[in-house]
Structure 1
Amino acid sequence: MQPQSKILIVDDYPANVEILKKIFGSHYELATAASGDEALVEARDFRPDIILLDVMMPGMDGYETCRQLRATPDLAHTKILMVSAKARLEERLQGYDAGADDYIIKPFDPHELRAKVNVYAQLKSLQEVDRLKSNILSLLNHELRTPLNSVLGPLQLLRRKRDLSPLKQQELLETAYHSVTNLNELIEKTMLLVELKAGLRDLRLMSSRLESIVRQSIDDVTPQALERDIDIQLDAADVSAIHADRALLGRVVVTLLENAIRFSPASESVRVCVGEAGANVCLTVQDRGKGIEPDILPSLFEGLVTTDSLHHRDGQGLNLAIASQIMRRHGGRIEVESQVGAGSMFTLRLPVEPA
């Protein structure tokens, strides 16, 4: 199942918003904002593929909103279409100078607008595929060297030195085996991320309870927690059911738990909470580790472009990117709050299962 492209509608006039909802609601995932300030916040959370941006709004106008959107790294590749009754050439040029990809004049023809948005959605998808290819090549070039050398080195010794003791031969074979295993995991994670981003991985959705998935995930990571004397404290409220792929969502929870265990000081505790907030079921995983540097946070869930060695070690950057994509495919999102020296808190938000 191909995931729907996401459109953020920014307009302070409710009637205009409703018109755009009718045009795009059946084929796109929609979010709305009624001001420039609200659009900046919503865009960072919603991560739209396309923004339909009104020019005339109270407070921050569409031009300044567009400039600030373009200055946000996470939204650099989002397609911005300005929609306005201002039709003079200098006004259209002002929109392009602010960073808009297109300028649509009101009143517009719904069929033409839909066709334009479809084109930009396809263009963004193609550009994402190109970036994905480039990032994969860069990642593999960077990440494959160490495990390949760890395989080739022991095998070369085994070929050249026939008089090695059985114990030494076994050590070299174990080293090569573990390196091949790590290499295989890296390739599998990369392929899963590609499949999720491209919409090639179908979800097996069923009515589920988040608490049940969390408890199973805690059981899965308990051996790792015991090794470091980490206490996992679960606080689970009675919450609504969700529509979820249990295996994929369990993978997300395990990723967060493993990260918390890895980066927590030995003999510390990790707090896990399941609750409900509005139309969402929520999970928080909080550790007391050293936290994440502020400059890393914006790209933390972009596994194919993360350059930080600490959070990319052992495929962790890929794990978080995979988690982000799984949450998006579930109609949810993943968030992080972190303070250097005080720890990190990851939050999952999933929509309540429709009645």
Structure 2
Amino acid sequence: MKKNIKVLIVDDEPLNVEILLEILRFHHRYECRWATSGEEALQILSAYIPEIILLDVKMSGIDGYEVCRRIRAQSEHRFSKIIMISGMSLIDDRLKGYEAGADDYLTKPYDEGELVAKLEVYSKLNRIEEVDTLKTTALNILRHETRTPLNGIIMGSDLLSNMEDLSEKAKGYVELVRQSGLKIQELVEKISRYYSIKDGILLNPSLKAPYLVINNIINELSGSLSAGRVIFSCDEKIELFADWTLLTEAFRYLVDNSIKECPEKQQVTINCQQKAADLFIQVGDASLGSDVALSERRFDGLFSSDLLHHHQGTGLSLAIAKEIIEEHGGQITCRNRENGGVLYEITVKNQPPC
């Protein structure tokens, strides 16, 4: 059974209030309260949080525009959707309502079907926004509340592994605990990083040669690999304005992912070139590839086509890389190569400082 939708009706004409109540009662899903003045509405809202407010514009005392502004000044009503109702249909009247903080504007005489449809849409939007905020809050709690116990697990296992009287079998179990703790720690950090980037980041561009950045990443990640596993080609003279702290993070995730996905004795190829003022990079590996329909979903941080065998954090790593590249006005695509394997193609826009 669906949850009732809380609605506050604000109109100084009792007949208008009664008409709205009659419409909403007919649909059985609405828990309604009403006020016959702006002052009364604000008093009710001090102890009542509706999902939707149906607010008349022309009222004696405080008009609808001012009521709307005062509601928007209260953080507890940040999710409440305000639909202004008025007999005035001029664009200027609508714009004044939107500027006051209204979400929508309904002109009298309104159609009952349109009114109910708007209530349904804004109710869903209200709950989506609430869930999104709860998700962010839960993520922050998870990050902070897991830090201390995870540090205890990792540091405790480090101390145990150095005990002289510990058998090799026991040391193996201790190392398993340590690695598990590190993986959970990395996963929590990546989830937090992903959502912080999606919330928006401020770029701090500087001029740098992509060759130096990518070559350092390759040396860092391929140190334990056999020689020749990573083939890198790039004009050392290419320079690009970008936030290189962020791009280094993105490129590291992409190269690391290709190395992990690529079978042993197969090569990862990285080609970097300049097209106009932008940077174009291809990262290819000899992995098994994926269904065409799933290729773009590789960049969805919450998606995995194989939960039992996917690399820890791979989806999140690619999702973070995608968000960073798109923040630079670029794009990243993934497709299967004709000769086998996967090819990532990345375009990064030049971002000279203003």
Short-chain TM bin: 0.5 to 0.7
- Residue in 2 aligned with 1:186? 187
Of 123-132 and 345-354, deviating more is 123-132
SS at match of 1:296: helix
Hey, what's the Cα distance between the residues in 2 that align with 1:278 and 1:125? 44
Hey, what's the Cα distance between the residues in 2 that align with 1:208 and 1:124? 43
Q: Percent identity?
A: 22
Deviation of residue 269 (structure 1)? 1.9
Which residue identity lines up with residue 177 of structure 2 in the other structure? Answer: A
- Residue in 1 aligned with 2:210? 210
Q: Provide the alpha-carbon RMSD of the alignment.
A: 4.2
Q: In 2 relative to 1, CA 259–113 (structure 1 residues): closer, same or farther, beyond 3 Å?
A: farther
Hey, what's the Cα distance between the residues in 2 that align with 1:332 and 1:240? 17
Deviation of residue 168 (structure 1)? 3.8
Deviations 1:44-99 (A, max 9, x none): xxxxxxxxxxxxxxxxxxxxxxxxxxxxxxxxxxxxxxxxxxxxxxxxxxxxxxxx
Contact kept? 1:291, 1:340, Cα under 8 Å? no
SS at match of 2:292: coil
Which residue identity lines up with residue 175 of structure 1 in the other structure? Answer: L
Deviation of residue 265 (structure 1)? 2.6
SS at match of 1:234: strand
Deviation of residue 221 (structure 1)? 1.3
Which stretches in structure 2 are left out of the alignment for 5+ residues?
1-89, 105-123
Q: Superposition pairs for residues 74-113 of structure 1, below 5 Å? A: 112=95
268, 277, 280: which is aligned to 2:278? 280
Contact kept? 1:135, 1:304, Cα under 8 Å? no
- Residue in 2 aligned with 1:197? 198
Q: In 2 relative to 1, CA 234–171 (structure 1 residues): closer, same or farther, beyond 3 Å?
A: closer
Of 251-260 and 213-222, deviating more is 251-260
Contact kept? 2:255, 2:283, Cα under 8 Å? yes
- Residue in 1 aligned with 2:299? 301
Which residue identity lines up with residue 179 of structure 1 in the other structure? Answer: S
Deviation of residue 183 (structure 1)? 0.7
Hey, what's the Cα distance between the residues in 1 that align with 2:274 and 2:174? 50
TM-score by length of 1: 0.52
SS at match of 1:183: helix
Deviation of residue 178 (structure 1)? 1.1
Is residue 170 of structure 1 aligned with residue 171 of structure 2?
A: yes
- Residue in 1 aligned with 2:28? none
SS at match of 1:223: coil
Deviations 1:289-320 (A, max 9, x none): 21122232131111123353378421100100
- Residue in 2 aligned with 1:219? 219
Contact kept? 2:190, 2:317, Cα under 8 Å? yes
Contact kept? 2:242, 2:350, Cα under 8 Å? no
Which stretches in structure 1 are left out of the alignment for 5+ residues?
1-106, 159-163
- Residue in 2 aligned with 1:9? none
Deviation of residue 349 (structure 1)? 0.9
SS at match of 1:300: helix
Q: In 2 relative to 1, CA 289–118 (structure 1 residues): closer, same or farther, beyond 3 Å?
A: farther
TM-score by length of 2: 0.53
247, 250, 272: which is aligned to 1:249? 247
Deviations 1:143-165 (A, max 9, x none): x9xxx9xx7xx99xx9xxxxx95
- Residue in 2 aligned with 1:318? 316
Deviation of residue 238 (structure 1)? 5.3
Higher Rg of the two aligned structures: 2
Deviation of residue 340 (structure 1)? 8.1
